Structure 1
């Protein structure tokens, strides 16, 4: 991937390949980025934008802005501070953080580092269900506000980069820290998970439940009918099934299917504040940012991750002003459309 050669040197080819890689030929991985460029803005002019409100509401609570740190596994392989560094960056920027169940730092440690900052917990369901239920209990005990159940990982997608990566830090499901290959870790996932299991995990958590990994409108409707509090429209960062829709392209049909019945979030390729504005204009309540902020952590530790998050929020603020939409909650489809097909456009410069 262009512009990331320093990270391969920094992290080593195996860890870099694991974090940067996608499924198959990585078409979806690339399209996650390109998809945001397919949407054009329609700004209003002569609007008073002297004061701007970036806030959004998730699970009935006002959040300072709609940028959410996505759940990402094994962060101590990106930087020695790992999830603690990411939690510090999120807290410094008033960003909600979603902690991965494949965390290389314990739930109580991350909770302590987060302080009063908003935090959710992402859950994989493992064949050994007691492991997942123990993580749910820890999340509830240590003040995680919601459970984000990833539903697009019955088995691992076909990935070629990072095949030599081994996890050497302790995990909740591997407290000894003995090196495990990704194949060993992926083999712990439960491929028998169905809609019937949602209620059981929601009851066990006694927390609001979101499902992450929905791309189809009919699945979104079924999730609403099952009583979830939110849906994350996601293709898992292009890491599961190649040639699926980009998250932003899947978002609109989901919005049309479920409206405002639940909170809607989207991820995949969000790297700029104007991507955030496009997502909200198309009907999302927030976006999740993954690799982009992880690269900040890898390059500069907590300060690096904080700088990435701060820039995203500042870009979003500037975008609202230039769109003539001082309140983020007022963004709607009148502000965006698909770019007309562009032919023979000369390259910049």
Structure 2
């Protein structure tokens, strides 16, 4: 089973790289809770529905997608495997998954786009103090045919990542952004982020890019409503994989109030702790339009390169399909609050 990839990846990557990819902020309370939170929700099947034919498709940014899984933006993928971002792009393309490429890619965004071919792809943007650097990244994304701009808004500066600090992890493969800004240490890269980023900047980047904007890192319903007012196309309910501020809400727990606040006025995605197809079914039942999956894909990449990342994505889609059948809801579009309940405590 592909969930065994995580243990194998720890051995293959060594403590430095594995600690960087696996670790979270502080005491890693949120890191653990991201996974545990999905288990606090139980599925409520219906029977005698007729589930011979099932449909995992969802609608996202106005287009029908074959399933709700996106590959979350993850930095430095060449540190995990020589296939790196191009391997992940090919795996995503082969499975109909949207890849969201990180600003901290270790491969030129245009090369990643070439590997993905005609497949859908989005670009994640960090906004740096040097706005020219961020605009250069947007230009590379536009040139590479990326469909949407995913602006990460929960990273004014790096969280306290003690596991990475203890390991002293350093990069063997410089990210693409270093070619634009010069060599940097991890601490120096974190210091590049602009803590003055505001709502006004969101509109400016949207206009400059000409792409639909999705804001990643929203947990508070008030910010979700503000995003509606800002005219963005979507938001990602996310705590940055538990890597920024420890003890914040999990994606699963924050999702419902955010969905209620936006009331269908923009697309809502969620990430954090999605490990199985039934986790995705719960997310859709709670009102999400799609889910992002990060570490499981990274572990697959680390173990078997492109083939491993593809296996993970294929298994997630297959598990969702099986969940729809056993849940008595053959269409992913029809999942709603009647299909899920909080477990008794």
Structure 2 partner of 1:323: 327
Deviation, structure 1 residue 50: 0.7
Whether 2:289 is the aligned partner of 1:268: answer: no
Deviation, structure 1 residue 7: 2.3
Whether 2:305 is the aligned partner of 1:293: answer: no
Whether 2:255 is the aligned partner of 1:251: answer: yes
Matching residue within 308, 313, 330 for 1:309: 313
Contact 2:170 2:185 in 1 (8 A): yes
TM-score (norm 1): 0.95
Deviation, structure 1 residue 138: 1.4
Contact 1:168 1:179 in 2 (8 A): no
Structure 2 partner of 1:239: 243
Q: Secondary structure at the match of 2:288?
A: coil
Deviation, structure 1 residue 140: 1.2
Deviation, structure 1 residue 243: 0.2
Q: Using the alignment, how far apart are the partners of 1:167 and 1:315 within structure 2?
A: 35
Structure 2 gap ranges (5+) = none
Matching residue within 24, 28, 31 for 1:29: 31
Deviation, structure 1 residue 184: 1.4
Q: Secondary structure at the match of 1:12?
A: helix
Deviations 1:271-308 (A, max 9, x none): 00000000000000000000011000001100000000
Whether 2:138 is the aligned partner of 1:136: answer: yes
Matching residue within 171, 175, 183 for 1:171: 175
Q: Secondary structure at the match of 1:51?
A: coil
Deviation, structure 1 residue 259: 1.4
1:118-267 matches, cutoff 5 A: 118-163=120-165, 164-175=168-179, 180-267=184-271
Contact 1:43 1:335 in 2 (8 A): yes
Q: Using the alignment, how far apart are the partners of 2:141 and 2:121 within structure 1?
A: 10
Structure 1 partner of 2:42: 40
Contact 1:154 1:191 in 2 (8 A): yes
Q: Using the alignment, how far apart are the partners of 1:201 and 1:176 within structure 2?
A: 19
Matching residue within 105, 110, 113 for 2:112: 110
Structure 1 partner of 2:83: 81
Deviation, structure 1 residue 178: 7.7
Q: Secondary structure at the match of 2:330?
A: coil
Q: Using the alignment, how far apart are the partners of 2:53 and 2:61 within structure 1?
A: 25
Deviation, structure 1 residue 6: 3.3
How many pairs align? Answer: 340
Deviations 1:323-346 (A, max 9, x none): 1101100000000010001xxxxx
Question: Aligned-residue CA RMSD in angstroms?
Answer: 1.4
Q: Secondary structure at the match of 1:175?
A: helix
Structure 1 gap ranges (5+) = 342-349
Q: Using the alignment, how far apart are the partners of 1:126 and 1:237 within structure 2?
A: 21
Q: Using the alignment, how far apart are the partners of 2:123 and 2:253 within structure 1?
A: 26
Q: Secondary structure at the match of 1:174?
A: helix
Which structure dedicates a bigger proportion of its chain to helix?
2
Contact 2:5 2:300 in 1 (8 A): no
Contact 1:26 1:238 in 2 (8 A): yes
Structure 2 partner of 1:347: none
Q: Using the alignment, how far apart are the partners of 2:217 and 2:180 within structure 1?
A: 30
TM-score (norm 2): 0.96
Structure 1 partner of 2:54: 52
